[in-house]
Amino acid sequence: MKNVDPTYLKHQFLIAMPHMADPNFAQTLTYIVEHTANGAMGLVVNRAQDLSLADILEQLRPDIDPPPACQHVPIYNGGPVQTDRGFVLHPSGPVFQATVQLGEISLSTSQDVLFAIADGAGPAKSLITLGYAGWDAGQLEAELADNAWLTCPFDADILFEMNSEQRLAAAAARLGINLSLLTSQAGHA
């Protein structure tokens, strides 16, 4: 019998299928930060919250008025786990106190990246989330087998160059799929 290495989805997008019933993930595009035999971690990248970087900075450094431009930097709902914890995706290059290189992009989790963005010294492009999505060992694989998700190669332009409302459809279009034409019913052939 042939041994088959598992396929892990690190540095790919997950596209929620139209029948996704979980309100945390319905109509979402999720970037997979890590995926191993022990589980997976991702960040939802298309659900802006009613928060801006200015709101976060008012909490982190209350004695300093946030620059006006920070009012226009959205904060995304990265997932239902640890919603008080921040994650910043940005092109590789700048390294902060807690930065992990993920290929062409990096993930920073320390406050210094937020301060650098606010002060104009941070990465030119970034996506800030509060919270993350997590899957236990085998859970994501089971959801994929149940047709809850499509996978799509990562595209930095989708992440950094498009409005959040366009990201899901753009990722699906990379696969030649129009999500509005898919049924909301799951099934197996």
* pLDDT tens, the chain, 189 aa long: 444 456 789 999 999 999 898 999 999 999 999 999 999 999 999 999 999 999 999 999 999 999 999 999 999 999 999 999 999 999 998 899 999 999 899 999 999 999 999 999 999 999 999 999 999 999 999 999 999 999 999 999 999 999 999 999 999 999 999 988 876 554 544
Q: What pLDDT is stored for residue 94 in this prediction? A: 85
How far, CA to CA in Å, does 40 sit from each of 30, 46, 156?
A: 11, 19, 20
Please, which residues have CB within 8 angstroms of residue 189's CB and are 6 or more apart in sequence? none
Q: What pLDDT is stored for residue 70 in this prediction? A: 94
CA distance 73 to 49: 11
Helix 53-60 and helix 111-118, axial crossing angle in degrees, nearest 10: 120
pTM: 0.91
Q: What is the DSSP string of 41-106?
A: EEEE-S-EEEEEHHHHHHHH-TTSPPPGGGGGSEEEE--SEEEEEEEEEEESS---TTEEE-SSEE
Asked if 160 and 115 touch (Cβ cutoff 8 Å), the reply is no
Q: What pLDDT is stored for residue 184 in this prediction? A: 54
Residue whose C-alpha is closest to residue 11's, from 178, 143, 151: 151
Q: What pLDDT is stored for residue 119 in this prediction? A: 92
Neighbours of 156 (CB within 10 A): 14
Residue 160 buriedness (CB in 10 A; 0-12 / 13-18 / 19+): middle
